[in-house]
Amino acid sequence: MTDKQDKPIDSRILVDAIDEAKQIGREGMAHPSTAPVLTGVAVGAVAGWILPVVGPVIGGIAGAGFMLYKRVRP
């Protein structure tokens, strides 16, 4: 049986991000990561709307991904 601590820190980032996203989905606005991730979505969407190639959808996804990453790995 392997423990989580045996793995390098960077190899667990995807598992940690998925767990954090599941917790956000379960708890909704009561979860402390929800507001920063939604802020990242809004900022990314506005940035994507300004940039002609990206678009607001891709910008919003990128903003949410970045903020989720910052919440998982501060």
* Tens digits of residue pLDDT in 20-48: 899 999 998 998 989 999 999 999 999 99
* Residue 57 within any structural domain of the chain: yes
* pLDDT, position 58: 93
How many H-runs (helices) and E-runs (strands) does the chain carry?
3, 0
CA distance 58 to 20: 21
Q: Say if 45 falls within a structural domain.
A: yes
Range of the domain at 70: 28-74
Is there a domain that residue 66 lies in? Answer: yes
Specify the number of domains making up the chain: 1
pTM for the predicted model, two decimal places:
0.76
Residue 1: band (very low, low, confident or very high) from pLDDT cuts 50, 70, 90: very low
Dist CA 56 CA 43 (whole Å): 9
Per mean pLDDT, which range of 2-6, 56-60, 65-69 is the poorest? 2-6
Q: Is residue 10 part of a domain?
A: no
The reply to whether 40 falls in a domain is yes
Residue 7 has pLDDT above 70, yes or no: no
Indicate whether 34 belongs to any domain: yes
- Listed in sequence order, the residues at least 6 apart from 30 whose beta carbon sits closer than 8 Å to its beta carbon are none
Residue 17 belongs to a domain: no
